[in-house]
């Protein structure tokens, strides 16, 4: 697979997932299940290219189902230096994914959820478009600029992931930013409001996390 042709969907075991599932509109969608994400894939009727992880959160009946379907498994040790989702991200990057969407990456394990935001940060630094999709929000980390389709009237928040994000400008938001610097540790840019069905945010330096209502 070549970069520029593949969109990867990584399914985790987190409980906060969209309903209905995201539309698979890409011919080269690469579906990777991080452990218990295999149960979500079965529920949604998505056939994964790979199920990987230590398999501590994948229900036995779902594992047996996918084994019968001939899906490839990559079993990892329980004691390891990366989460199953990060291992799946690494696999997607090596497969040439041009963008990566995390689903089932938010839930009651807040430590894992925050770790997945760190993965978005890493992808932003690599220049790989990314998103983490929950039942009510979409999180995206980026450098430079980002444009999103949103519902007018919905909330949009900007969270600096670096100590300072410089020169932030926005279009289509009620409280416009015109070259402001955003500082980590402040709530200044939380709960803005979308005025248009498409918004854009740009900066001259730093990594921003944009949280949009679905």
Mean pLDDT of the chain: 95
User: CATH code at 190?
Assistant: 2.60.120.320
pLDDT at residue 1 greater than cutoff 80: no
125 and 80 in a single domain? The answer is yes
Residue-level pLDDT at 26:
62
Rounded CA separation 159/209 (Å): 5
Q: Give 26-61 pLDDT, tens digit per residue.
A: 667 999 999 999 999 999 999 999 999 989 899 999
Residue-level pLDDT at 85:
97
Final residue of a structural domain among 87, 103, 135: 135
102 and 169 in a single domain? The answer is no
37 and 131 in a single domain? The answer is yes
Q: Give 126-171 pLDDT, tens digit per residue.
A: 999 999 999 999 999 999 999 999 999 999 999 999 999 999 999 9
Rounded CA separation 108/149 (Å): 28
Output 22 or 61, whichever has higher pLDDT.
61
29 and 108 in a single domain? The answer is yes
Return the beta strands (E) in the chain as ranges: 6-11, 29-34, 50-53, 72-75, 97-103, 130-133, 137-142, 145-149, 155-160, 164-171, 178-183, 192-193, 198-202, 208-213
Domain annotation covers residue 87: yes
Rounded CA separation 124/140 (Å): 9
114 and 186 in a single domain? The answer is no
pLDDT at residue 4 greater than cutoff 60: no
Q: What is the domain extent for residue 161?
A: 145-213
106 and 88 in a single domain? The answer is yes
Residue-level pLDDT at 72:
97
Q: What does the pLDDT average to over 12-23?
A: 94
The number of domains in the chain is 2
Rounded CA separation 45/23 (Å): 12
Final residue of a structural domain among 88, 115, 135: 135
Distances (CA, A) of 89 to 2, 98, 178: 16, 12, 34
DSSP state of 20: S
Final residue of a structural domain among 75, 109, 135: 135
Residue-level pLDDT at 2:
39
Q: What does the pLDDT average to over 192-196?
A: 98
pTM of the model: 0.94
């Amino acid at each position: 697979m070549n970069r520029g042709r593949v969109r990867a969907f990584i399914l985790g075991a987190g409980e906060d997932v969209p309903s209905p599932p995201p539309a698979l509109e890409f011919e080269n969608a690469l579906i990777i299940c991080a452990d218990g994400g295999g149960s979500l894939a079965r529920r949604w009727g998505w056939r994964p290219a790979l199920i990987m992880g230590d398999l501590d959160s994948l229900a036995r009946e779902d594992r047996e189902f996918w084994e019968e379907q001939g899906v490839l498994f990559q079993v990892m040790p329980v004691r390891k230096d990366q989460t199953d989702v990060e291992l799946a991200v690494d696999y997607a990057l090596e497969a040439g994914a041009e963008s990566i969407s995390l689903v089932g990456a938010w839930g009651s394990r807040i430590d894992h959820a925050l770790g997945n935001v760190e993965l978005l940060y890493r992808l932003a630094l690599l220049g790989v478009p990314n998103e983490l999709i929950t039942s009510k929000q979409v999180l995206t980390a980026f450098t430079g600029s980002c444009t999103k389709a949103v519902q007018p009237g919905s909330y949009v928040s900007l969270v600096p992931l670096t100590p300072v994000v410089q020169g932030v400008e926005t279009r289509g938001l009620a409280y416009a930013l015109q070259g402001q610097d955003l500082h980590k540790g402040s709530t200044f840019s939380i709960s803005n409001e979308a005025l248009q069905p498409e918004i854009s945010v740009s900066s001259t330096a730093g990594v921003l996390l944009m949280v949009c209502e679905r």
